[in-house]
Amino acid sequence: MGIDALDKLATQTTDEFGEFTTEGLTEGTLSCSFSRGERGPSGLHESWAGLIELDHNFATERRIVLEADLATEIAGRVIDAQGAPVSGIEVKAQQFVSSGTFSFGLHMESTTTNADGRYRFTGMRAGDYKMRIAGCTSPADRWLDLVTGEPSSADFVALDCMTIAGWVELGDTPAAELGVRLFAVDERRVADTKVSADGSFELPDVIADSYEVVLFHDDQRLDHAPVDASSPTGIVLRVP
């Protein structure tokens, strides 16, 4: 992956000979990150990152040697709202690389919690990682800045999920112009979705709690309705 002097993102996969060609890049500094999709023979990730200077008068050829990254680890525990361990739940860790206004994800790894609700990733390269647990959790995700040789931890609380669904009485307004947003009781925006052509809408995998569902046209509120875990479906919103 690379970002050129005009913040243009370029991605490429090497062929069976380890070769690649990327065209249409802007003259100047190219910020690059090369990484193997899976762990290398050493059991560690292998990568190379750096800057390459491009001259529009000449083709640039570089030989990139991937090196094993020094490793660190991520560990944590998943419990339910009562404090009991949650076993067999999937935990995902994805590294992200930022350059200028871009942030792009590299490979993702996953594991599952054991009988005590604990998980552990070993041999992780240093950098920024987004941690996420399957289902509804608090927090919804965690960002970690891994430093070589310094283990990091991220704990989660697994919560009950619900799907909020209903439909909109459209009137003369096209469904494509309408959106539904979900707000918590503290007015924090939780989720949003578009209204389907038939007027229906659905917000899946929402933490079971009390919310306000609001119908919008552009940024104008048209209608709203309360919703909680006792009756998360069958909501009717109307266009005035």
Domains of the chain: 1-69 (no CATH), 72-159 (2.60.40.1120), 161-238 (2.60.40.10)
State the Rg of the chain over Cα: 23
Residue by residue, DSSP assigns 36-87 as -SS--TTSS-EEEEEEEEE-TTS--------EEPPPEEEEEEEEETTS-B--
Each residue's pLDDT tens digit in the chain (240 positions)? 888 888 888 888 999 999 998 888 888 988 888 888 777 887 888 888 888 999 887 788 889 998 887 788 999 999 999 999 999 999 999 988 776 666 777 778 999 999 999 999 998 888 889 999 988 898 988 999 998 889 999 999 999 999 999 999 988 888 899 999 999 988 899 899 999 999 999 999 899 999 999 999 988 999 999 999 999 999 999 998
Res 99: pLDDT: 62
User: What is residue 25's predicted lDDT score, i.e. its pLDDT?
Assistant: 87
What's the pLDDT score for residue 101?
65
pLDDT at 22: 87
> What's the rounded Cα separation, in Å, for the pair 46 and 65?
9
Most distant pair of Cα atoms in the chain: their distance: 67
Quote the pLDDT of residue 102: 65
Residue 105 sits at the vertex; the CA angle it makes with 30 and 40, to the nearest 5 degrees, is 90
Q: Is the whole-model pTM more than 0.75?
A: no
**How many other CB atoms sit within 10 Å of the CB of residue 206?**
19
Does residue 208 contact residue 200 with C-beta atoms inside 8 Å? no
Q: DSSP 3-state assignment of 102?
A: strand
